[in-house]
């Protein structure tokens, strides 16, 4: 998928702007608060129908304007031209069009035009709460599996209705016997969500660990572990952190998930009734991000060069990256997860997603920057990179399209890296 042209009208700080992207690598240069991030946000919005940072669509409308308009021209894997349009009026509904045809549901848009966005906000994957990591998994899986998105939407609807019923029961305006019907629906859709999440998580983990090893040059290893509010840990464990096959994807595994979900719901019934909310289910799941290192220990008085193997043993230690990881380690972990997302989408769909890197390289050393850009160019993914200074990057890139952004105006400055 290649984005060839985009139009932005009253989007963020853009009034009326048109940009061509004649090459697959686009370096977007400009000072702070000039519109670099907003240009990437517009591209991401066209691909996924959501912003990486705005909670509501209305936030994207330029100040004092009545609405925004985006239009993108893409070429798909068959070299067909696809026209995408997105509009939002301050007091009107959000609308999406594909080749002039109105799309009735935003969910139908997800997965048609995949994109991976890495920005400073991506650090919340490591530093933020469980909801950030669930959101990451949900969007990733939804882009490659429409059935997962349908089950997730149905689960969230049932969850909302069950929570409302719990409040009514607490207020004695509804019978507790009504819970059984909602429990069955919650288990049915929740089991499908859990099983698919575990399947994709196992694959994602393998890619992320490998990428972290190459990015960090490894004084330590990355460890990722799924934590379920429903499943016991021994059903989620693998002998290897790089295992790519989930233990619950076969029919018997799915039955076990449903069984444990039912047990968990029954065990939490009294607490749920007291709080008026559902305390177990995939909406409470998370995955742990830890750094794993090895330390050699032993009796110092017996140590010498001849009996080192006898007097020392290797112990493995893990520390949570959120609490104990340095800023550099956390950033590298987030980048490893985003590269894993890219590779997983590519392997699942057979197509490279559009890659958007917002001010990523400013805090990476030369080795990490080189590795990152080599990976992207070897994958042939169309890439958009923002920076305040092009000079440190151009010699890693093959004839990038260099664009300058100033006060929400975009101009092509040079066609190749030799000019810089």
Same domain? For 150 and 194 the reply is yes
Q: What is the CATH number of the domain that holds 365?
A: 3.40.50.300
**pLDDT for 308 beyond 60:** no
Burial profile 257-278: b = 16 or more Cβ within 10 angstroms, e = fewer: bbebbbebbeebeeebbeeeeb
pLDDT tens per residue, range 4-40? 999 999 999 999 999 999 888 999 999 999 999 999 9
- Mean pLDDT is lowest, of 147-161, 230-244, 306-320, 338-352, for 306-320
Same domain? For 363 and 319 the reply is no
Same domain? For 366 and 306 the reply is no
Residue 191 structure tokens: 């089991």
pLDDT tens per residue, range 97-106? 999 999 988 8
Q: Is residue 378 part of a domain?
A: no
Same domain? For 108 and 186 the reply is no
What is the model's pTM? 0.87
Burial class (CB in 10 A: 0-12, 13-18, 19+), 104: exposed
**pLDDT for 420 beyond 50:** no
Q: What is the CATH number of the domain that holds 126?
A: 1.20.1050.90
Same domain? For 6 and 87 the reply is yes
Burial profile 297-324: b = 16 or more Cβ within 10 angstroms, e = fewer: eeeeeeeeeeeeeebbeeeeeeeebbee
Q: Is residue 380 part of a domain?
A: no
Same domain? For 231 and 315 the reply is yes
Check residue 219 and give its pLDDT.
Answer: 74
Residue 5 structure tokens: 């042209």
**Across the chain, what does the average pLDDT equal?**
87
Q: Which domain holds residue 51?
A: 1-114+351-372+388-420
Check residue 372 and give its pLDDT.
Answer: 87
Same domain? For 315 and 408 the reply is no
In angstroms, the CA 217 to CA 213 distance is 6
Number of domains in the chain: 2
pLDDT tens per residue, range 267-291? 999 999 999 999 999 999 999 999 9
In angstroms, the CA 46 to CA 2 distance is 13
Percent of the chain with pLDDT over 70: 89
In which band, very low, low, confident or very high, does the pLDDT at 295 lie, cut at 50, 70 and 90? low
Same domain? For 150 and 290 the reply is yes
Check residue 238 and give its pLDDT.
Answer: 54
In which band, very low, low, confident or very high, does the pLDDT at 96 lie, cut at 50, 70 and 90? very high
């Amino acid at each position: 998928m290649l984005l060839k042209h985009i139009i932005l009208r009253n989007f963020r700080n853009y009034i009326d702007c048109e940009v061509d992207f004649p090459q697959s690598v686009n370096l977007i240069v400009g000072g702070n608060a000039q519109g670099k991030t907003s240009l990437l946000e517009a591209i991401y919005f066209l691909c996924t129908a959501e912003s990486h940072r705005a909670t509501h669509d209305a936030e994207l409308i330029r100040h004092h304007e009545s609405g925004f308009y985006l239009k993108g021209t893409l070429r798909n894997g068959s070299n067909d031209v696809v026209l995408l349009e997105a509009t939002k009026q301050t007091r009107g509904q959000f609308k999406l069009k594909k080749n002039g045809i109105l799309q009735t549901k935003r969910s139908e848009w997800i997965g048609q035009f995949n994109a991976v966005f890495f920005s400073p906000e991506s650090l919340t994957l490591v530093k933020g709460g469980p909801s950030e990591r669930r959101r990451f998994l949900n969007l990733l899986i939804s882009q490659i599996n429409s059935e997962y998105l349908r089950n997730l939407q149905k689960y969230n609807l049932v969850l909302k209705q069950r929570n409302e019923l719990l409040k009514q029961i607490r207020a004695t305006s509804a019978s507790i016997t009504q819970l059984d019907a909602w429990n069955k629906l919650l288990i049915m859709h929740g089991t499908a969500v859990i099983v698919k999440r575990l399947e994709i998580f196992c694959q994602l983990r393998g890619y992320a660990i490998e990428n972290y090893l190459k990015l960090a040059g490894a004084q330590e290893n990355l460890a990722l572990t799924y934590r379920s509010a429903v499943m016991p840990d021994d059903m989620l464990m693998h002998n290897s952190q790089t295992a790519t096959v989930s233990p619950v994807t076969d029919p018997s595994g799915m039955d076990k998930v449903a069984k444990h979900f039912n047990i968990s719901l029954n065990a939490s019934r009294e607490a749920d009734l007291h709080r008026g909310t559902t305390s177990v289910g995939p909406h409470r799941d998370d995955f742990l991000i830890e750094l794993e290192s090895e330390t050699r220990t032993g009796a110092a008085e017996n140590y010498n060069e001849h009996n080192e193997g006898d007097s020392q043993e290797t112990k493995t230690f893990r520390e949570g990256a959120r609490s104990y990881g340095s800023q550099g380690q956390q950033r590298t972990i987030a980048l490893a997860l985003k590269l894993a997302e890219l590779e997983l989408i590519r392997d699942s769909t057979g197509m490279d997603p559009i890659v958007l890197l917002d001010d990523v390289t400013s805090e990476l050393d030369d080795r990490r920057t080189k590795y990152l850009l080599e990976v992207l160019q070897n994958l042939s993914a169309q890439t958009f990179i923002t920076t305040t200074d092009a000079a440190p990057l151009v010699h890693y890139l093959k004839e990038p399209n260099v664009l300058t952004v100033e006060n929400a105006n975009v101009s092509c400055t040079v066609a190749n890296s030799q000019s810089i």
